[in-house]
Amino acid sequence: MTDATTPSRVSQKISAKVWEENAVPRHRIQWCPGCGDFGVLAGLKMALTKLEVTPYEVLLIGGIGCSGQIRNYLNGNGFHGTHGGALAYALGAKMANPGLTVIALAGDGDTFAIGVENFVHVCRRDPAVVLIIMDNGVYGLTKGQHSPTHGRGMDIREWSEEAPPPFAPLRLALTAGATFVAQSFSGDPRHAAEIYAQALQHPGFAVVNDFSPCVTYNKFNTYDWYRERVEDVPASHDPSDFQAAWELLNDFDRRGRLPLGVVYRHPRPKKAHGRLPIWPEELQGADIRPLLQMMR
């Protein structure tokens, strides 16, 4: 786990450079040249700068894979977890410190294969955590095996066990109960930054699926392929209406288009809850005997 810049070291004016301090320098970034994850990195940096969030207020949690490296390329507290476990760590961190801005950064394989159980139940629980999925359709770090979203847009005449239909991230998030569901494209970091900023301001669980092309192992879903098919969510769309969100996805599917923007946003009322004392100073004077009795 890495330490963030402390408040005393942060300049009064929050700039993008604040997010580059203590981070791996650009020339040592291990992604392939042209990797879509560069766009996510740029967009996230812009969003955090726009919201004037300082690194010591943020915990970045990475999973396993090319996407998980992103937490090394930004200033801020960082934790690199196991494959599929980013959301489990994020949920625990948020419960322990509700004042922390917690951002989980994972790939599509990380989230929708080994991590799908965590994804579904975090959607249900609705913690104030942001998940950005770098969706490239392959397992890039292990040289390009098919991931759950592989096959998007491909002309496969018959689905079989060997060629299953691609995953539908937004539909799964909606049906599992996520209260903020959006999609971005790393080929347009400025637009992605706007989506990330809205996700960071959402009071519940915010899912952003980002099309992040793998230029080495996915030669089908390229930047040009996406640019020909992505389309902004129309301004007339009401993101607070669940049925409208579902119909929006149906409409885009019928037209062979891919929506960019906020598809659904409906904060869920929450009950205030207390937290057990953790730190030694919080335990001073506390009577924990009833708690210990319950655990016997």
Alpha-carbon gap, residue 40 to 71, rounded angstroms? 11
pTM of the model: 0.88
Q: Which residues contact 112 (CB under 8 A, 6 or more apart)?
A: 119, 147, 148, 149, 167, 169, 172
For the chain, 296 residues long, the average pLDDT of each consecutive 10-residue run is 48 73 87 96 95 94 91 92 92 91 95 94 96 95 89 82 86 97 98 98 97 96 97 98 98 97 94 67 77 79
Which residues are within 8 A (CB) of 291 and not within 5 positions of it... i.e. 6 or more apart?
276
Quick check: 70 and 37 in contact, CB under 8 A? yes
Q: Are 211 and 196 in contact (CB under 8 A)?
A: no
For residue 100, give the DSSP letter: S
Quote the CA–CA distance of 39 and 251 in Å, as a whole number. Answer: 27
The CA distances from residue 114 to 6, 82, 108, 111, 149, in Å, are: 35, 10, 10, 7, 13
Q: What would the two tokens of residue 227 be?
A: 């640019």
- Residue 161 pLDDT: 72
